[in-house]
Chain A
């Protein structure tokens, strides 16, 4: 007994605790560091948007000030009050850009939550109960996949009118498929493990087993899918707004800003470049973070 205790404590000294190992893996992962940092910055910008610039993204229009160039254009028209220039209506482009972060994050996060709830419920039910439930859920997933997302979203939005919350709900109700597919397969793997059988033998209710035995063991996959779908929702919103059927003017959505600048492509391409680059940075940081979470939590993916 005494020798056993002794070796155990020696092993503890030699090997860092799992928590410390995890911490080391997280902070040694470039994707998580870079993605997390960029995302945190964009998040902070979105929260403090009104404090960052002296202008209002919608109300401060001044046609006399329209199409001021950004700071890297060495032009006499440049106005230091507008470091990123002004748009066609003479609104400060930096102000519209930082307020646009709010719209993208709000839509991405809300649509992700809605689709996550639907997809997880379907996927976990299919994976846990199997049999007929699985068959029905599979059928629902196949049906959903065969309907083209962009087209259906556009059609529905055009029929019931577009507002921020309608876009969120339409996207949320459409993009749950990946949640369902991934949750179904991971739940299937977990539900055959011994501790689930033990919980069943103890007489735990199905609800409790799913909540306390299944969910904690599939949550890392859930987080990875959540990041992917958040990015997906943001891209879809931008595409819808670009086509004129998403967020409506004068709201400063990045997709809408690109759409409004489309006609100026020959002369003022920076009007397209700036919001697109912001969109790219946001999606890239979310994806890097998601990839990082997958690498860190699943050892088998770590090559």
Chain B
């Protein structure tokens, strides 16, 4: 187990390092960052001044080491536009995105796991057909369009839910559904397939033959084994949601990281853009690492190999 954790930790570290290099080089995609920051109307002296004051005149590896060293100490630099510490801005916006993604994954799991289990108990039944139809439709629905449609019916026509810039819990319902439904097809299919396989196994037959209550067999014996791959998928999807909430947050004007990213990109605020990509990537690496640990804990086969 210790060897497995160390190996996994090493990989996570290397991935984080590679991601930081890629993130850093993002500002060189467009060529000269000083020219990009100065804008079109800037004179040569102004560009030169910006290059000096932001340190873009130093060799690139030196800039990278400096940036990484500061980032490791929690100093992500100052925003060109907001004139504030980037780490402060990100910390202020992070909770909203975490709440949104948390609600979204909770919504997705509470919808998809019971549906997947129900579909697996009676394959080809009405409920199975319903679940599969829901999965096919859900996968084809563009999330931003679905969000607007929900806004139109629930917000404007029926006036049940607030549509924008609301910090109460009601304000998170529609964004969470719009962000979460996209995950349900995958989780549901995986739960269904896992349950179908497990329910045919010998130990389930034994458990039934022993005369255990059907519900005990279903939840304690079957679901526990079928859920293992779902844990990985849910973790990966949670990571994607943190990065994908940019569309939903900009529609509902939720003051989170995604909205910040959108504003930042429109302002061309390069250091802030780098910092957001870095933070979201590191979150993803952390979440998938924790999910792997949880999986190894749940399934001894993983840590042995």
Contact = CB atoms under 8 A, between A and B. Distances in A.
Contact of A143 (B15, B140, B141): B15
Contact of A276 (B11, B14, B142, B285): B142
B26 A154 contact: no
Given A146-B288, A265-B152, 16 more contacts: A139-B11, A148-B243, A148-B277, A149-B243, A150-B243, A156-B29, A258-B145, A266-B156, A269-B152, A276-B142, A280-B145, A283-B139, A283-B140, A283-B142, A284-B137, A287-B139
Interface in B246-292: 246-247, 250, 261-262, 265-266, 268, 273, 276-277, 280-281, 284-285, 288
Chain B interface SS verdict (over half): helix
Interface string A244-265: 1100000000010010001001
23 contacts: A139-B14, A143-B15, A143-B22, A146-B288, A147-B281, A148-B242, A149-B243, A150-B244, A154-B261, A154-B262, A156-B29, A158-B265, A158-B268, A159-B29, A238-B145, A258-B145, A265-B152, A276-B145, A276-B148, A280-B140, A283-B140, A287-B140, A303-B196
Interface string B122-149: 0100000000000011011111110011
A284 B156 CA distance: 27
Interface of B: 11, 14-16, 18-19, 22-23, 26-27, 29-30, 36, 123, 136-137, 139-145, 148-149, 151-152, 156, 196, 236, 239-240, 242-244, 246-247, 250, 261-262, 265-266, 268, 273, 276-277, 280-281, 284-285, 288
Interface in A279-303: 279-280, 283-284, 287-288, 291, 303
Nearest to A281: B140
Contact of B142 (A154, A238, A262): A238
B212 to A, nearest CB: 26
A142 B281 CA distance: 11
Interface in A132-171: 139, 142-143, 145-152, 154-156, 158-160
A235 interface: yes
A237 to B, nearest CB: 10
Give the size category of A's interface with B: 35 or more
Interface of A: 139, 142-143, 145-152, 154-156, 158-160, 231, 235, 238-239, 242-245, 255, 258, 262, 265-266, 269, 272-273, 276, 279-280, 283-284, 287-288, 291, 303
A244 B262 CA distance: 10
A232 B73 CA distance: 38
B277 A155 contact: yes
A151 B143 CA distance: 16
B135 to A, nearest CB: 10
B148 A139 contact: no
B155 to A, nearest CB: 9
Contacts of A284: 136-137, 140
A258 B144 contact: yes
Contacts of B266: 158, 244
A284 B16 CA distance: 36
Nearest to A140: B18
A90 to B, nearest CB: 23
A258 B240 contact: no
B148 A147 contact: no
Nearest to B287: A146
A179 to B, nearest CB: 17
B277 A303 contact: no
A151 B240 CA distance: 10
Name the 4 nearest CB pairs between A and B, nearest first. Answer: A148-B243, A276-B145, A284-B140, A159-B30
Contacts of B285: 146
Given A159-B26, A262-B148, A284-B140, A154 B265 contact: yes
